[in-house]
Amino acid sequence: MDIASELSRLLEGWMRWLRLRRALAWCLHGWVIGLAWGLLLGAAGMWQARLLRAEFLALAAVLALSGACLAGLIAFAWPLRRLEAARYFDRVFRLEERVSTALEFADAPASDLLQRQAQDAWNAAQRVKPARDLPLRFSRSEGLLALTLTLVIGLTGWRGTAWFQAAQQARAVQEAVAEQKQAMAEMLVKIENDPLLSEEQKRALSAPLEEALNALQDQPSLEGSVSILTAAGEKLQALSDPQAQELAQALSEAGRQLSLQEGSPLQGVGQQLAQGDAVAAATQLSQLDVSNLSQPEAEALASQLETLAQSLASIDPTLAAQLNQAAQAFRQGDRAAAGQALQQAAQTLAQAGHQMAFSQAAAQSAAQLQQGAGRVLAAGGGQAMQGAAGSQAGAGNSQGGAAAGGAGAGRGEGESGSSPLGNEAGSSPIPQNNGAGDGGKRAYEPIYAPSLLGGEGGPLVGLPQSGEDGEAVGVGPTAPGKEGGSLVPYDEVYAQYEEFNRRALENGQVPLQFMQIIRNYFDALKP
Amino acid sequence: MSELSVERFCQIAEQIENEVGRVIVGQAEVVRPVLVSILAGGHVLLEGVPGLGKTMLIRTLGQALELKFSRIQFTPDLMPSDILGTEILTDQDGRRSFQFRPGPLFANLVLADEINRATPKTQSALLEAMQEGSVTVAQQTYRLEEPFFVMATQNPLEMEGTYPLPEAQLDRFFFKVNVNLPDVGEMAEILERTTGKDTPAAGRAASGADIVQMRELARTVPVASHVREYIAKLVLATHPENLHASPLVQKYVRYGASPRGGQALMLGAKVTALLAGRYNVAFEDIQAVALPALRHRLLLNFDGLAEGVNPDSVITELLGALPM
């Protein structure tokens, strides 16, 4: 038997055991370190409102597990030199340097003493039982530390609801802001590709959007994001021209009338106008061939032009004058002058079309931004505010619809509202052009007609004779000569005030610099 | 390869201890280091108050080992020639010549009793014999017969009129063994043995040739490299400026052990290993011989001397502090 080889084989087995023992010990080290890091990073994440409960727990678990696995693997794979391992085993197994000496002198010239030494080492090594002499053992203090850390993490996960909710809100705000950024990017593309807009108009419309987009890249706070979106919306809103909206409405109406004139040369123009495409209508008007018209046809055309001019007189006098001028030329039989006047009217109409498109785009963008600001604010308010957010968003759409002035910008669809109010608002079939101020997503407010005494459908009341008291219909809260007491408890009405305040804040009606003051005021009013 | 087997080595050593034990009661902590020193081929300095059996021990060893024994009582007027020998004028057939007459040093086992009472000059006369195993007189060198051991004794109490051994002399002693008072049981046994009618005597346990063979065998005991490094570190750590020096060493030691100290540790550990029935040197063997091998090699500084620091405590602390 080659004792050196046998010793080496035995040593390999011991080394495997040692690796396993080290790996297990380091697993615990890694577990504790992972837990500590998990707690540290989790606490930092919670403090910065970035981690949800599940993420916090998952972070701690992943770090602890990965720490344990990594440490265990490294410990297991850590290189062990044979001779050093033999020296270590000599000490822990109390072999009195037998094995290390035998291995070291294995290649030395054979002598009786060395052979005896090797045999002695082999005999001593065979008596060793690694599992008994080098048992797998964990440090009790380290185990307690691991347990404590686990408990602290569990307790933090259980009791840190406030931090996790804050994180959830922050996350929702981030997502909402990201959505708005995406929407703004799409708006920019849409503006860029709009053929009705001139380059100058595109630049004017893109500037506030790009500015807001850049400002949002810096990940501002909730108030900051809302402020940026609101400010951009206001800038865009300022670009929209209410008169252009009115003109568009008037042209659309006039176009509908014209489109009903069968066989009229202006029927096509009317159809285009009815569809809201004033530029196409202008093109068609400029291409109108009036040379072949008979005099009755010219007279009819003149009448239609006069009607059109009349409907536009209050909104666009220039266009109306040009149309009248063309009509007058038709009546006088001066086709050339009529054609020239029509060309001028077409040019004016085209310009108006461009202006209307610009205004419409500005209004649409403004409405989307206002709506986005509401969504961001709603996200910051959490679940409880989502219904209100839906309501607010509806208001935004409504504004857009109003700004579009009949161009049909209001969408009136339910968004993220989860509260009954939000759902109801979202599903309300609000028609377009429902007027500024009405909520596109808001429920109709009940309007009660006043009960007129003696009126139709009202209660019948006998009129008193002269000098007699009349019939008492109801009792008021006050009586002559007495102070009236409040019948509504303050804590009941406060909720309404608070609700109005919240809506005003969400709708961007309160300037940013006053938001905190208003909040403080209503906080002070709390019953 | 040595002809002597390890079993025989252990057997002879056991016999020696048994024979010594027939005369010397207890004192195992003295007998074993002395035996180790003899088997390693080193000289021993025994330090103890009078009456503890130092001389008896060495005399008994001489009997057990069947070695030529001589005792030299060191006194202040002892001259080197008194121990080395001298040339005397002889007249043989009318022809006069100087003839060397060996002194008591020409023995296998020399007991230098109360060595510190002799003058440094006489003490130094032992240097060559102890280190080289030879004596030079009148430009003539004489080899001493193997094995050759010097067993010196000194009394630590009566210091007046004594000449402390110089460091060079001390360093040549393989071990310095402290002889302490026996305990009650041992004392009673001593009284019983030495006041009766028959005085016990040691029988023969080994010859000089056996001792030489045992010494050769001991030298072949393998020592692993890390054990050797430990010895080297231990010796160097006795120097206060060394990186591994313990606080006590740094505070109280002026100069540490020489390489002879390391040799003593190594050889002593080898013999100890064999005596333990082991064929290799373990750390335990080194620690077992560290005190006798190093205690006389530590030169204490003024603080150490003033505070009466025991070198044993310094070495013990060093052994505990030095990683294996």
Domain limits, chain B: 1-74+109-114+145-220, 221-324
Residues A300 and A334 in one domain: yes
Q: Determine the structural domain holding residue A50 and report its residue range.
A: 3-159
What's the total number of domains in chain A? 3
CA distance B242 to B235: 10
Classify residue B280 by its DSSP letter: S
CA distance A160 to A149: 16
Do B224 and A121 lie within an 8 Å CB cutoff?
no
CA distance A83 to A123: 19
Interface check A96 vs B, CB under 8 A: yes
Start-end of H helices in A97-241 = 98-104, 112-126, 130-133, 140-159, 161-193, 199-217, 222-239
- Position A471 in a domain: no
CA distance A244 to B141: 135
Instruction: Please tell me the predicted confidence (pLDDT) of residue B262.
Output: 95
Contact A257, A174 (CB under 8 A): no
Token reading at A501: 């305040």
Residues A83 and A195 in one domain: no
Contact B253, B240 (CB under 8 A): yes
From A394, A418, A437, the end of a domain falls on: A437
- Longest CA–CA span in chain A (Å) reads 149
Interface check A101 vs B, CB under 8 A: yes
CA A514 to chain centroid, in Å, comes to 24
Do β-strands B109-113 and B253-255 pair in parallel, antiparallel, or remain unpaired? unpaired
Interface check A125 vs B, CB under 8 A: no
- Position A48 in a domain: yes
Residues A171 and A144 in one domain: no
**Tens of pLDDT, residues A150-179:** 999 999 888 888 888 888 888 888 888 899
Residue of B nearest to A84 (CA): B226
A138 min Cα distance to partner chain B (Å) = 24
Do B217 and A96 lie within an 8 Å CB cutoff?
no
- Specify the 3-state DSSP secondary structure of B189: helix
Chain B partners within 8 Å of A121 (Cβ): 280
C-alpha torsion sign, points B192, B194, B198, B199 = positive
- CB-based contacts of B78: which residues, under 8 Å, 6+ apart? B72, B118, B119, B122
From A107, A132, A159, the end of a domain falls on: A159
Do B279 and A113 lie within an 8 Å CB cutoff?
yes
Do A97 and B221 lie within an 8 Å CB cutoff?
no
Residue of B nearest to A95 (CA): B282
Chain A partners within 8 Å of B282 (Cβ): 96-98
Going from the C-alpha of A90 to that of each of A72, B88, B118, the distances in angstroms are 24, 61, 49
> CA angle, corner A67, sides to A64 and A69, nearest 5?
105
B223 min Cα distance to partner chain A (Å) = 7
Chain B partners within 8 Å of A113 (Cβ): 1-2, 6, 217, 220-222, 279
Residues A144 and A213 in one domain: no
Instruction: Please tell me the predicted confidence (pLDDT) of residue A393.
Output: 37
Residue in this structure with the two tokens 């010097």, named with its chain if needed = B150
Do A87 and B224 lie within an 8 Å CB cutoff?
yes
Do A97 and B1 lie within an 8 Å CB cutoff?
no
- CB-based contacts of A402: which residues, under 8 Å, 6+ apart? A410, A435, A436, A437
Question: What is the rounded average pLDDT for all residues in chain A?
Answer: 78
Architecture of domain B1-74+109-114+145-220: 3-Layer(aba) Sandwich (3.40)
Do B222 and A98 lie within an 8 Å CB cutoff?
no
- Position A109 in a domain: yes
Token reading at B84: 């080395």
Interface check A230 vs B, CB under 8 A: no
**Tens of pLDDT, residues B108-166:** 899 998 898 899 888 888 888 888 889 888 888 999 988 899 999 988 877 777 888 88
Interface check A4 vs B, CB under 8 A: no
- Position A475 in a domain: no
CATH number for the domain whose boundaries are B221-324: 1.10.8.80
Instruction: Please tell me the predicted confidence (pLDDT) of residue A469.
Output: 65
| Arithmetic mean of pLDDT, A27-35 | 93
Q: Which of A30-34, A402-406, A478-482 has the lowest average pLDDT?
A: A402-406
Instruction: Please tell me the predicted confidence (pLDDT) of residue A426.
Output: 36
- Residue B185: count other Cβ atoms within 10 Å of its Cβ: 10
Which residues of chain B have a Cβ shorter than 8 Å from any chain A Cβ?
1-2, 5-6, 217, 220-227, 278-284, 324
Under the banding of pLDDT at 50, 70 and 90, the label for residue A447 is low
- Residue A461: count other Cβ atoms within 10 Å of its Cβ: 11
CA distance B283 to B190: 35
Token reading at A487: 């019948």
- Position A483 in a domain: no
From A89, A124, A159, the end of a domain falls on: A159
Residue of A nearest to B273 (CA): A96
CA distance B48 to B59: 16
